[in-house]
Amino acid sequence: MSTPLHFVTLAAGKGTRMKSELPKVLHAVGGEPMIVRILRTASHFQPVTSTVVVGHMADKVRATLTAFPGVGTVVQEPQLGTGHALMQAQPALAGKSGTVVLLYGDVPMLSQASIANLLAHHHQTGAAATVLTAHLDDPSGLGRIVRENGRFQRIVEERDASPAEKAITEFNSGIYAFALDGLFEALNRIGTANDQGEYYLTDLLGIFLADGRRIETYTIPDADELRGVNSRAELAVMNAQVRDQRNAAVMAAGVTLIDPTSAWIGPDVHIGRDTTIHPNVYLEGRTTIGSNVEIHAGVRVINATIGDGTIVQNYCVVRDSTIDANVAMGPFSHIRPDSHVGPGAHIGNFVELKKTTLGPGAKANHLAYLGDASVGAKVNVGAGVITCNYDGVHKHRTVIGDGAFIGTDSQLVAPVTVGAEAYVAAGSTITEDVPDGALAIGRGRQENKAGWVAKRKGKTPAK
């Protein structure tokens, strides 16, 4: 079908019940703002125009939309109802032809398939408007679809509905396809003669019918897709629903989730086969997990890559970094941005890396801070080693050559280089470069004073 498509997404409302300084449409569902989710769904249709109607906290919404360069905004101020909201899009659609799909920024679960089906029905029938509907046992609060002999008659809002109308289970999703031809001309005839004194978009349908134009409905089987978010409780329900869907797909692709109700896996995360994810794990952003990986409870991974066969023990945080294959990590490791852990390396408990590369087979097993460091292959970093990378003004690099051994509780004062195969004695403070294969000792020499304790006792009067 070559009809030009246009999307208008309403996102001007106050969202009062969220009780939030964040606009409702920026609250996250499945790890991303609701408005981003619905705009991504819309973008699959490659519309000629895509317009978001903003109003309440417009600047915050606009700032998020910079991720969608093709999407424009129009401002609705004040917000006088859904009909008034669509009126604001008239300048953006001036001189255009084709079909307009109206979406809501706070109805983020609508599927691409449902939009495609709505459009197919709309185009087949040549209707002026096609209303997307579904059935709910209890559609309280929603507009009901009133039919006569099966034909669409009108939409009645809950507050205006008679008891018989309230018993109707078919509701108005508020999502429509409209023929652009004559749309705004009809829209501009809507009045505000209703209980709320608002411009009801639903009145447009009555105007079309009076003009002898055709109204169609398209009913989808899954009312869950049409769920809106009005409160934090509804947000939590929706997030659980998205998580369940996502996790079902992840498991179908060959990943074991020990507890599918507590694994949070973002939309841009890829996980290989036979990987096991334990409870309370968060995998976020653009993250790739290999196959046969074991991720234990309480781990958080953000924008990172984890290679095949790696084991991440409990309570590790990994961000903007690459972990190669067969690494053993954790518990309680913290991998900060721009780090790269080579294959077979070990990162133990309370080890923090920042902008640090660890070569293949390197080990830092206990209590270390490695920042702005390049650590070679098979280096052994002892317990309590610290790179002193910051002089209070600048950051400096530490370079450790392949096969070096850094004794426990040593400080490496950067900029400094420890050569390949070199040894640093335990407890050293290293301020100068260590040549390849050398032993560096940088600590006070020990002195033993024979008989000192007995002598002291003799001098000290008894209590």
Q: Name the residues annotated as catalytic.
A: 366
Token pair 């002089």 in the structure block, residue: 391
12 is a site residue for ligand UD1 (CB under 6 A): yes
List the beta bridge partners of residue 293: none
Taking the least distance from each CB to ligand UD1, the nearer of 25 and 317 is 25
Minimum CB separation of residue 13 from ligand UD1 in Å reads 2
Selected binder of ligand UD1 within 201, 328, 370, 385 (CB under 6 A): 201
Taking the least distance from each CB to ligand UD1, the nearer of 108 and 382 is 108
Minimum CB separation of residue 130 from ligand UD1 in Å reads 15
Selected binder of ligand UD1 within 228, 307, 348, 403 (CB under 6 A): 228
Cis before 415 (ω within 30): yes
178 is a site residue for ligand UD1 (CB under 6 A): no
Taking the least distance from each CB to ligand UD1, the nearer of 61 and 373 is 61
23 is a site residue for ligand UD1 (CB under 6 A): no
The pair phi, psi for residue 195, each rounded to 5°, is -50, -35
Output the CA–CA distances (angstroms, integers) from residue 1 to 6, 98, 120, 220, 356, in the order listed: 14, 11, 8, 21, 53
Window of 5-13, 63-71, 425-433, 455-463 that interacts with ligand UD1 by CB under 6 A: 5-13
Distance CA 188, CA 219 (A): 28
Cβ(65)–Cβ(71) below 8 Å: yes
18 is a site residue for ligand UD1 (CB under 6 A): no
Residues in the chain: 463
The pair phi, psi for residue 136, each rounded to 5°, is -135, 140
Cβ(320)–Cβ(306) below 8 Å: no
Taking the least distance from each CB to ligand UD1, the nearer of 41 and 172 is 172
Residue (of 96, 76, 79) closest to 88 by Cα position? 76
Taking the least distance from each CB to ligand UD1, the nearer of 2 and 140 is 140
Q: What is the DSSP code (8-state) at residue 19? A: -
171 is a site residue for ligand UD1 (CB under 6 A): yes
Token pair 């609705």 in the structure block, residue: 76
Binding pattern for the stretch 98-117 against ligand UD1, x by CB under 6 A and - elsewhere: ------xxx-----------
Binding pattern for the stretch 63-92 against ligand UD1, x by CB under 6 A and - elsewhere: -------------x--xxxx-xx-------
Minimum CB separation of residue 202 from ligand UD1 in Å reads 5
208 is a site residue for ligand UD1 (CB under 6 A): no
Q: Residue-wise over 147-183: b if at least 16 C-beta within 10 A, else e?
A: eeeeebebbbbeeebeeebeebebbbbbbbbbbbeeb
Output the CA–CA distances (angstroms, integers) from residue 366 to 78, 269, 333, 380, in the order listed: 59, 30, 9, 11
List the beta bridge partners of residue 339: none
Window of 4-12, 34-42, 271-279, 420-428 that interacts with ligand UD1 by CB under 6 A: 4-12
Q: Give contact residues for ligand UD1 (rule: CB under 6 A).
A: 10-13, 53, 76, 79-82, 84-85, 104-106, 142-143, 155, 157, 171-174, 200-202, 228
